[in-house]
């Protein structure tokens, strides 16, 4: 019998899941993807040039979890002036057997969590195990969850931070003060990435801001910011000299860090080492040398949303939190 659909707000779910649980869930989802046990149609875009933003519809099914998800998410970089997050989302988690909506939840926090978790998973397989210095190029909400995920996997000694506005940097430092990490403000992007073991880029840039000559041997880069056609944060020379791993070729070539170089024919699919699922599933190797430069091109997959939404739903149900409404 249909008992109702569980409704979960951000406030309700924000403290019931930690990043380490999300990392495990996302790693498992990537493995299932690598083994071919998921369904994930291409992300659908609704471009709103008038408002300098867009919507994306992201459906997926993971056989192992036996759950379906549809996420409706936006990216509006100028939302700060309206007092709103640049990225907001709603997630519908459904029972594949009956198609009933089991849960409707805020997807904004879940999106931040699953994207941060993906960066952590990628670094686990691609960064040097003794990585200690992290450079954050961009310091918004996504930079926070990226750092939280990395903290659970590496013994980080220093975090260098750059943001294109001083107010953003100040807000980040205030929010992350409780981590007790050594936080250093960089004057520019060059200073931010210099001598780093792991670099995370989370900006909406449409031109390269990280140059190959600034990078030290053995660095790993999580390229997170490029998530739509025309966006890029790394100059193509970085990709040419690196072992490049994508979350999914279809999305990355259309809207990820590699999208502009691919369209300009500076790189091709042959230049892509693997997708992260293949590495986790053991079909291809991750890092194989200490001096190797590695790049993870993260566009955000709907299977990540399935994994984290299912985790949130199961935890909320177990703790008996949230409100059920009969919407059918």
User: How large a percentage of the chain has pLDDT more than 70?
Assistant: 100
pLDDT in the model for residue 1: 80
Q: What is the pLDDT of residue 154?
A: 97
- Structure confidence by residue, pLDDT tens digits, 25-72: 999 999 999 999 999 998 898 999 999 999 999 999 999 999 999 999
Kindly report the length of the chain: 328
Look at residue 9 and tell me whether its pLDDT is greater than 90: yes
Residue 76's pLDDT is 92
Domains annotated on the chain, with CATH: 5-111+303-322 (3.30.1780.10), 118-300 (3.40.50.720)
Higher pLDDT residue, 227 or 273? 273
Is residue 269 scored above 90 in pLDDT? yes
pLDDT tens readout for residues 73-90: 998 989 989 999 888 999
Calculate the average pLDDT of the chain. Answer: 95
Distance CA 114, CA 118 (A): 6
- 266: DSSP letter: S
281 DSSP 8-state letter: T
Distance of CA 192 to the CA centre of its chain: 20
Strands 220-223 and 206-210: unpaired
Report the pLDDT averaged over residues 240-257: 96
Mean pLDDT of 134-149: 95
Burial class of residue 218 in the structure, from the number of CB atoms within 10 Å of its CB (0-12 exposed, 13-18 middle, 19+ buried): middle
48: tokens are: 């709103």
Tell me the per-residue pLDDT of 152-177, one tens digit each, with 9 for 90 and over.
999 999 999 999 889 999 999 999 98
Per-residue exposure over 51-82, b if at least 16 CB sit within 10 Å of its own CB, e if not: eebbbbebbbbbeebebbbbbebbbbeebeee
As a whole number of Å, the end-to-end CA separation of the chain is 12
As to burial, measured by CB atoms within 10 angstroms (0-12 exposed, 13-18 middle, 19+ buried), residue 120 is: buried
Marked catalytic residue, from 24, 64, 67, 71: 71
Q: Is 11 an active-site residue? A: no
């Amino acid at each position: 019998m249909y008992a109702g659909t569980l409704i979960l707000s951000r406030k309700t779910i924000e403290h019931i899941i930690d990043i380490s649980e999300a990392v495990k869930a996302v790693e498992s989802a990537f493995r299932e993807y690598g083994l071919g046990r998921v369904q994930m149609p291409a992300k659908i875009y609704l471009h709103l040039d008038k408002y300098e933003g867009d919507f994306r519809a992201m459906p997926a099914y993971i056989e192992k979890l036996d759950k379906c998800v549809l996420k409706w998410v936006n990216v509006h970089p100028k939302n700060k002036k309206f007092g709103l997050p640049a990225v907001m989302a709603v997630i519908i988690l459904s029972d594949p057997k009956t198609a009933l909506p089991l849960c409707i939840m805020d997807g904004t926090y879940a999106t931040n969590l699953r994207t941060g978790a993906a960066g952590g998973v990628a670094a686990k397989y691609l960064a040097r195990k003794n990585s200690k210095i992290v450079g954050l190029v961009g310091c918004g909400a996504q930079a926070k969850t990226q750092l939280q995920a990395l903290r659970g996997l590496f013994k980080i000694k220093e975090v260098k931070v750059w943001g294109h506005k001083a107010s953003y940097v100040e807000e980040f430092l205030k929010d992350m003060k409780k981590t007790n990490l050594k936080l250093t403000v960089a004057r520019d992007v060059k200073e931010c990435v210099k001598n780093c073991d792991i670099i995370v880029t989370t900006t909406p840039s449409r031109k390269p801001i990280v140059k190959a000559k600034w990078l030290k041997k053995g660095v790993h880069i999580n390229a997170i910011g490029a998530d739509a056609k025309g966006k890029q944060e790394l100059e193509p020379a970085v990709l040419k000299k690196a072992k490049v791993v994508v979350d999914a070729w279809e999305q990355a070539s259309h809207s990820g860090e590699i999208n502009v170089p691919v369209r300009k024919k500076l790189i091709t699919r042959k230049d892509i080492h693997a997708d992260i699922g293949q590495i986790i599933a053991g079909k291809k190797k991750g890092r194989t040398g200490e001096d190797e430069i590695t790049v993870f091109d993260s566009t955000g997959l709907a299977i990540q949303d399935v994994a984290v939404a299912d985790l949130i739903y199961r935890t909320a149900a177990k703790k008996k939190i949230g409100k059920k409404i009969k919407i059918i």
